[in-house]
Amino acid sequence: MTKDGKWHILVVDDEEDMHVITRVALRTERWRGRHFHLESALSAKEAREKLADHGADIDVALVDVVMETTEAGLELCRHIRETQPPSLRLVLRTGQPGYAPIEKVMNDYDIDYYMAKPEVTKDSLYSVMRACLRSSQDIGMLLVMREQLRRSASLMEDATQLPQFLASVRDPLDFLAKKHDAAIYFVNDRSHDELTASDNLVGTAPLPPDFATIAVEAAQAGPDAWQPLQASHTYAFATVTLDARGPATSPQPAKTGVLGMLKGAFGKKVWKPEAVMGSVIARFAEAPTEKTLHDLRYDLAPFLENWRIIHRVYRWHDEAAHRRAQIDLANLAGAQGQ
């Protein structure tokens, strides 16, 4: 799925009639409110060229088996699995089902579905596309969550400011925004003096004029809520407890000696009881249905859990820096007193 909001299907077949039939079958169909966009390739070679140009945009590939050679389609499937994102789903569609045994082909080439051309109907094709797109979106979600954690882990080496960590959530939010056809904003701390400040907010679209009012209303909501906002029926929000602990704000007694310094840096942590609460705000083109909110809440769960982990590590990182500063000050004071 690309920014045009359509599901992109690559049809690879050396019979032009199959392209026409597929286009007619899916022309009026929609899934999750989006139409299908079909791209055609009349050979495996042409398909490889299209995949090299924009393979990341393709959600599903419908591949014929026999084209330039008797195994051109199977070789293309192997190439796709080796070079394209794991979220791309493969459907093998052949006019010679006996030539390529179902079980062997699906296992050897990691095929999602196997369809015999004479048995394909409009309804069966749509059902397969729907199942493939659902799998593609689920796998894509896992991939962006993994990338979010990977980027956050790399930030631990040199990042010191919260906005640097906040930047790691942009790709997952972009994915969710495209998947659910909504603009999504993440407010890290609802108690922040300025909710829409750049060090407290990440969004997938420019802020609308009424967003400040919406952010305040979401900030005043109870914990773990998920419901349409009263200010506008096209908004919905969720709140999340990021961390019920915070680093100590008052100086602690300095430790002396090597052992004491280590205890001071890594010993028992002192936390303040205040909770850090965040808000996720989604803006839809029209009033969201219960099913829409349910699906978005389901997809937000791993995103928010990832951010809880990232946020907690950041707080520990911040506290460790605070303790190191205390040690340095104690050492400096000790050196000056000698």
Once rounded to an integer, what is the mean pLDDT over residues 318-323? Answer: 71
10 Å Cβ neighbour count for 189? 19
Once rounded to an integer, what is the mean pLDDT over residues 89-100? Answer: 80
Between the two ends of the chain, the Cα-to-Cα distance in Å is 68
Place of tokens 């000056």: 336
pLDDT of res. 125 = 94
How many helices and strands, by DSSP H and E, does the chain display? 10, 13
Once rounded to an integer, what is the mean pLDDT over residues 100-126? Answer: 87
The overall average pLDDT reported for the chain is 77
Tokens of 229: 């906002």
326 neighbors 261 (Cβ within 8 angstroms): no
Evaluate if residue 338 carries a pLDDT over 70.
no
Q: Give me the domains of the chain, ranges plus CATH numbers.
A: 7-133 (3.40.50.2300), 156-337 (no CATH)
Q: Which residue has the higher pLDDT, 122 or 163?
A: 122
C-alpha pair distances (Å), 85 with each of 34, 76, 79, 266: 21, 14, 11, 42
**Banded model confidence at residue 281, pLDDT cuts 50, 70, 90:** confident
Of 7-11, 14-18, 156-160, the poorest mean pLDDT is in 156-160
Evaluate if residue 23 carries a pLDDT over 60.
yes
pLDDT of res. 271 = 36
Once rounded to an integer, what is the mean pLDDT over residues 105-111? Answer: 87
pLDDT of res. 190 = 67
Inter-axis angle of helices 44-54 and 72-83, nearest 10: 10
Q: Which residue has the higher pLDDT, 303 or 14?
A: 14
Once rounded to an integer, what is the mean pLDDT over residues 224-249? Answer: 54
pLDDT of res. 157 = 63
Q: Return the bridge partners of 271, or none.
A: 247
Evaluate if residue 63 carries a pLDDT over 80.
yes
Evaluate if residue 298 carries a pLDDT over 90.
no
What's the CA gap between 74 and 81, in Å, rounded?
11
pLDDT above 90 coverage of the chain, percent: 26
What's the CA gap between 281 and 229, in Å, rounded?
9
Evaluate if residue 101 carries a pLDDT over 50.
yes
pLDDT of res. 47 = 94
What is the DSSP track for 28-57?
A: T-EETTEEEEEEEESSHHHHHHHHHHHGGG
Could you report the per-residue pLDDT of 147-168, keeping only the tens digit for each? 877 776 776 666 556 677 777 7
Could you report the per-residue pLDDT of 196-216, keeping only the tens digit for each? 777 778 888 888 888 888 777
pTM confidence score = 0.68
Residue 207 backbone dihedrals phi, psi, to 5 degrees:
-70, 130
282 neighbors 182 (Cβ within 8 angstroms): yes
The H or E element containing residue 334 is helix 290-337
Q: Return the bridge partners of 247, or none.
A: 271
Once rounded to an integer, what is the mean pLDDT over residues 48-56? Answer: 91
Q: Which residue has the higher pLDDT, 294 or 221?
A: 294
pLDDT of res. 81 = 93
Tokens of 92: 């093998």
